[in-house]
Amino acid sequence: MYLEASGQVPGTYSELYTTVPDNACTLGLNYHMWGQHIGALEVLGGSTSLLKLQGEQGRRWRSAEVNVTLYQGRTIEIRGYVGSSYRGDIALDNLVFKPCGYEVWPKPSRYVHLQSVNCSFEDSFCGWSNTGQGDWLRNRGPTVTRNTGPTSATYGQYYTYVESDSAPAQLTSPPFFSGEDQCLTLHNYMYGRAIGDLVIKQSSVKTKVNLITDKISGSQGARWIKHVVKVVDNTDSRIVMEVKKSQTKSYSWEGDVAVDEISVMKC
């Protein structure tokens, strides 16, 4: 089956629904996403993003497995998002639920499974929470300040951002397992004459020690930019995103920092 991009409105999506069998732990699927203007493919359990693939993935069929252990007996959704032109067809094949007993990663635990860290902010913060002085806000359309901030989300309608006068502000993920060869991917929009820092950290829930620290500083241009950080193999992690103010006194209001489409998956 496939999503035909021709004649469709960019940013809209088509959906499939299926019920997870009571004994299933994994959904396996094959996908083909090749074209100059591929949108995205997403698997959701309620408002939680279990898998999201964005953009061109190469001129061949690829495979993916989704941990659906927490959704046994419940309905999950598969969405195909339309890209910006007719060169954006997305195809699916061989959708198979695999019973428990297969090696499934991440294994169920008292921690939130890894895919729940993924968030597109369309319906909620997906378990992410404000833990700093200022606030990260969900927003649709442009931010309230001119000459800074995005005018729309990367895909869909909503994203999260920090107003320049609200920094410093910190957004923290639910705890999760991180395994080998996993990468954190996000899209950031940092445009204005007083952009400060976006600091991304992976920290241990137990020891509070930062396992990785990454930083993006200053204006990056009036566009969404994909940013990838390799995460550390650890059993009890959180991702923390912190916006810090610029030291620039002039045009201090032009410092909005936005983030969208957060995911942790195989690099």
Q: Is the pLDDT of residue 117 over 80?
A: no
How far apart are alpha carbons 136 and 241 in whole angstroms?
10
Q: What percent of the chain has pLDDT over 70?
A: 92
Taking a C-beta distance cutoff of 8 angstroms, is the pair 131, 176 a contact? no
pLDDT tens digit string along 48-86? 888 888 888 878 888 888 888 888 899 999 999 999 898
Taking a C-beta distance cutoff of 8 angstroms, is the pair 200, 262 a contact? no
pTM of the predicted model over 0.75: no
pLDDT tens digit string along 166-207? 888 999 998 877 766 788 899 999 999 989 999 999 998 888
pLDDT tens digit string along 244-258? 988 877 777 888 999
Domains along the sequence of the chain with CATH = 2-104 (2.60.120.200), 129-266 (2.60.120.200)
Q: Which residues, 6 or more positions from 132, have their beta carbon under 8 angstroms from its beta carbon?
A: 168, 169, 170, 171, 242
User: Which has the higher per-residue pLDDT, 57 or 31?
Assistant: 31
Taking a C-beta distance cutoff of 8 angstroms, is the pair 115, 48 a contact? yes
pLDDT in the model for residue 48: 85
Query: In this structure, what DSSP letter does residue 12 have?
Result: -
